[in-house]
């Protein structure tokens, strides 16, 4: 392509042990192999990117991967004790010294530029990593919702450590049955976000060979820098009477949805039962914090979307 290449920023998030460091490292390696000048940044106190690359990654950019285009940096947020050090490689603003950092205007300049980068959907993507288990998926559903509310584009989900079909040992039967259930739940919960599956490797993924293998398996011939999806999975609209939450329904089944049979609160989520041609389907939808103090009014199906309405009773009293 002609002209100056635009920077891409990709964040990976997920609960501890889901595979963030390894997948980040594999993505960075593949990008560098495609010719991108790549910097991978980790703030994991366990220094897992050093393990992944089998190279001691320092607190300053360290050339790694046997390439002139791949660099890595380990940031200790406790030791650095300021956000500026973490974001300096991204925003391009020199990090103020510890003496200067006390000047609020310096910090605000950095945070302002960082915000502009994070909400630019052509530049920044958040990618979700989960394992096929209940806790991991529930944790990411909340993250997915918050990202939508803060207008951060989530462009890809990755279900990691999936036991391959070829594993036929009876010891893993219950694990495989459970993971199929959770994978199906994830497809529905994160729709319309594209989801990739990554198998559980036979050994710990360490070193350039296995990182490269993982990157090829995850992305194939695709460019990992591309924006896989741009949009919002959940739309939240405030009005004079309260709140409207709109959730798109999975298209393969949308035409089969008939009516909302039941809607009720379930902790911090909303439990919704919908009648379909093949029976009733229950889904749990995470709610924005503001909805917790409002009264659930009703839910209805409209144009292949689920519309949920909340009433601000305090607002009614003030009116």
Q: What is the pLDDT of residue 29?
A: 95
Same domain for 214 and 308? no
Same domain for 206 and 261? no
Contact of 46 with 69, CB cutoff 8 Å: no
Same domain for 208 and 258? no
Same domain for 304 and 248? yes
Q: What is the pLDDT of residue 317?
A: 47
Whether a cis peptide bond, with omega within 30° of 0, leads into 192 is yes
CATH, residue 181: 3.40.50.300
Q: What is the pLDDT of residue 76?
A: 72
User: Closest Cα partner for 129 from 45, 44, 209, 198?
Assistant: 198
Range of the domain at 211: 9-219
Q: Order of strands across the sheet with 235-238?
A: 235-238, 242-248, 305-311, 295-302
Rounded Cα distance between 50 and 283, Å, is 40
Rounded Cα distance between 45 and 12, Å, is 16
Same domain for 244 and 212? no
As a whole number of Å, the end-to-end CA separation of the chain is 57
CATH, residue 246: 2.60.40.790
Contact of 84 with 107, CB cutoff 8 Å: yes
User: Closest Cα partner for 9 from 130, 91, 75, 93?
Assistant: 91
Rounded Cα distance between 279 and 292, Å, is 30
Contact of 264 with 296, CB cutoff 8 Å: yes
Alpha helix (H) residue ranges in the chain: 20-33, 48-53, 77-80, 83-91, 104-118, 134-149, 173-189, 208-219, 251-254, 313-318
Q: What is the pLDDT of residue 261?
A: 74
Which tokens in the block code for residue 98?
């510890």
Q: State the greatest distance between any 2 C-alpha atoms of the chain, in Å, as a whole number.
A: 66
Q: Identify whether 225 is part of a domain.
A: no
Length of the chain: 319
Q: Identify whether 66 is part of a domain.
A: yes
Query: How far is the CA of 89 from the CAs of 38, 61, 83, 84, in angstroms?
Result: 11, 9, 12, 9
Same domain for 120 and 145? yes
Same domain for 298 and 248? yes
Q: Identify whether 252 is part of a domain.
A: yes
Residues 256-303 have pLDDT tens digits of: 666 777 888 877 778 887 776 656 767 777 777 788 888 888 888 887
Rounded Cα distance between 141 and 247, Å, is 13
Same domain for 165 and 307? no
Q: What is the pLDDT of residue 270?
A: 81
Contact of 40 with 55, CB cutoff 8 Å: no
The three-class DSSP label of residue 214 is helix
Total domains, the chain: 2
10 Å Cβ neighbour count for 304?
Answer: 13
**The dihedral of CA 124, 155, 139, 298: what is its sign?**
positive
Same domain for 205 and 286? no
Q: What is the pLDDT of residue 3?
A: 45
Question: Of 219, 244, 262, which residue sits at a domain end?
Answer: 219
Q: Which ranges of the chain have pLDDT less than 70?
A: 1-5, 77-111, 233, 250-258, 276-279, 281, 314-319
């Amino acid at each position: 392509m002609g002209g100056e290449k635009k920077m891409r920023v990709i964040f990976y998030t997920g609960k501890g042990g889901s595979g963030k460091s390894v997948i980040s490292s594999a993505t960075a390696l593949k990008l560098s192999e495609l010719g991108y000048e790549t910097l991978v940044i980790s703030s994991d106190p366990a220094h897992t990117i050093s393990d992944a690359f089998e190279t001691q990654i320092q607190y300053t950019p360290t050339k790694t991967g046997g390439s002139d285009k791949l660099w890595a940096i380990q940031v200790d947020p406790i030791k650095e004790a300021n956000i500026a050090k973490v974001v300096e490689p991204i925003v391009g603003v020199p990090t103020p010294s510890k003496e200067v950092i006390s000047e609020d205007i310096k910090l605000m300049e950095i945070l302002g530029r960082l915000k502009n980068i994070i909400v630019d959907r052509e530049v920044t993507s958040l990618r979700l990593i989960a394992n096929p288990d209940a806790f991991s998926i529930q944790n990411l559903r909340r993250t997915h919702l918050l990202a939508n509310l803060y207008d951060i584009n989530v462009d890809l989900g990755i279900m990691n450590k999936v036991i391959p079909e070829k594993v036929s040992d009876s010891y893993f039967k219950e694990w495989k049955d459970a993971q199929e259930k959770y994978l199906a739940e994830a497809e529905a919960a994160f729709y319309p976000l594209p989801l990739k599956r990554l198998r559980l490797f036979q050994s710990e993924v360490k070193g350039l060979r296995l990182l490269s293998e993982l990157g090829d398996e995850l992305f194939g011939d695709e460019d990992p820098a591309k924006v896989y999806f741009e949009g919002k999975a959940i739309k939240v609209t405030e009005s004079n009477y309260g709140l409207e939450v709109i959730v798109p329904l999975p298209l393969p089944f949308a035409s089969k949805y008939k009516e909302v049979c039941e809607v009720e609160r379930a902790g911090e989520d909303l439990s919704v039962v919908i009648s379909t041609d093949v029976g009733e389907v229950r889904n749990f939808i995470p709610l924005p914090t503001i909805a917790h103090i409002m009264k659930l009014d009703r839910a209805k199906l409209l144009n292949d979307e689920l519309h949920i309405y909340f009433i601000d009773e305090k607002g009614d009293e003030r009116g």
